[in-house]
Amino acid sequence: MPRPPRRPPALDAAALERAALDYLGRYAASTGQLRRVLQRRIRRAAQAGAEVDVAAVEARITALLERMTAARLLDDSQFAEMRIAGLARRGTSTRAIRMKLREAGLDETVADEALSLYGGAPGADPERAAAIRLARRRRLGPFRAEADRAAHRMRDLATLARAGFALGLCRTVVDAPDGAALEAAED
């Protein structure tokens, strides 16, 4: 038996607000991400055959996002700081963090401001600390068994380079004598 056609999603102000609050209740989101989620409702309604006044719905979405930002339900700078902290703990390079913030729909100025606050301890190099965290997590270079280090050197360098770290930093981390000395130099 064929499935009955889906009803198009409602696009009035109340339905958009319910959808936005439901999404924010489940996920942390930037303004850009929430806008894309709500715009998907427009596409789904059009695909289901509903007559959609795209300009009017876009205006409702913009007004809703402005209200949510004013009510502090959406805060792009706080989202960026939270996202940077999580990615930095995983050992993500600054270049990759910047790319992920762009994918999240954050404005360049907000991303730059949040990245300028990111840095860890005074005098510490956040890029080096992230490379060490990634090497420890993935067991690369000095965190690999001594017998396997030489055979996997190029693979370890490539892993760090693909993660967005500079080649010089990759070599420093992979060629370190041992992980404890590398981490001690970081503190």
Confirm whether 134 is domain-assigned.
yes
Q: Is there a single domain that holds both residue 82 and residue 49?
A: no
CA distance 118 to 87: 11
Q: Is there a single domain that holds both residue 179 and residue 130?
A: yes
Residue pair 107/141 in contact (Cβ under 8 Å)? The answer is no
Q: What's the structural domain count of the chain?
A: 3
User: Residue 106: which CATH number?
Assistant: 1.10.10
Q: Is there a single domain that holds both residue 36 and residue 66?
A: yes
CA distance 151 to 167: 19
Confirm whether 64 is domain-assigned.
yes
Confirm whether 48 is domain-assigned.
yes
Return the sign of the alpha-carbon dihedral for residues 64, 69, 71, 74.
positive
Instruction: Provide the token pair at 17.
Output: 């607000």
Of 95, 88, 97, 105, which Cα lies nearest the Cα of 36? 105
Whether pTM > 0.85 for this model: the answer is no
Alpha helices in the chain, H assignment, sequence order: 13-26, 31-47, 54-70, 76-90, 94-103, 108-117, 126-138, 153-162, 167-174, 179-186
Q: Is there a single domain that holds both residue 21 and residue 66?
A: yes
Instruction: Provide the token pair at 150.
Output: 């030489």
Residue pair 135/160 in contact (Cβ under 8 Å)? The answer is yes
Longest alpha-carbon distance in the chain: 68
- Domain extent for 84: 76-117
What pLDDT tens digit does each residue of the chain (187 aa) get?
A: 787 777 888 889 999 999 999 999 999 999 999 999 999 999 998 888 888 899 999 999 999 999 999 999 999 999 999 999 999 888 899 999 999 999 999 999 999 898 888 765 555 688 888 999 999 999 999 999 999 999 999 999 999 999 999 999 999 999 998 777 677 766 5
Q: Is there a single domain that holds both residue 113 and residue 139?
A: no
